[in-house]
């Protein structure tokens, strides 16, 4: 998925967990975090050398796309509405990446790759479709 789709889905998930603009912002922001292991991602550009180190050392869609990343909200926010918004934002990223490719959900087990590996042309179509369905959902439900 593209960063725009991840952000939009994260905002919806964050709002669902914590119905406020703060929930949307937290969910949208946290939905970008798993791609820190991709040097060319939006967050990867901000964290340059760290992102490149993660990508070279562990690869894309490994530790940051696993159960490990889902522990971050509990560490930073605990059992609060903001923590649940962050958790749902992260979870939306993992779920949407499984729609277009495989993630190593059970890292460090090497057999834990889960998802639908799609060809590049279908990947773009699914991303586009999910993005516009999410916008339609926001308009229909009257968020914001």
Q: What is the pLDDT of residues 117-126, one digit of tens each?
A: 888 889 889 9
- φ, ψ of residue 81 to 5 degrees: the values are -55, -40
131's tokens? 């993005």
Residue pair 126/97 in contact by the 8 Å Cβ criterion: no
Average pLDDT over residues 95-108: 89
Residue carrying structure tokens 């952000």:
7
Measure the CA–CA gap between 73 and 83, rounded to whole angstroms.
Answer: 5
pTM: 0.88
How far is it, in rounded angstroms, from Cα 26 to Cα 19? 11
Rg (CA), the chain: 15
Give the mean model confidence (pLDDT) for residues 101-114.
84
Q: What is the pLDDT of residue 18?
A: 96
Task: Give the model confidence (pLDDT) of 39-58 as tens digits.
Answer: 788 877 787 788 888 778 78
């Amino acid at each position: 998925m593209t960063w725009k789709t991840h952000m939009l889905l994260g905002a919806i998930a964050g709002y669902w967990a914590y119905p406020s603009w703060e929930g949307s912002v937290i969910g949208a922001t946290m939905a970008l975090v798993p791609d820190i292991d991709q040097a060319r991602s939006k967050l990867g550009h901000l964290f340059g050398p760290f992102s490149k180190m993660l990508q070279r050392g562990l690869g894309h869609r490994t530790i940051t796309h696993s159960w490990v990343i889902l522990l971050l909200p509990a560490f930073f926010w605990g059992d609060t509405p903001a923590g649940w918004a962050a958790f749902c934002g992260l979870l939306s990223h993992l779920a949407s990446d499984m729609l277009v490719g495989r993630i190593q959900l059970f890292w460090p087990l090497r057999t834990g790759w889960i998802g639908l590996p799609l060809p590049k042309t279908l990947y773009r179509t699914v991303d586009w479709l999910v993005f516009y369905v999410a916008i339609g959902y926001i308009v229909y439900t009257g968020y914001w």
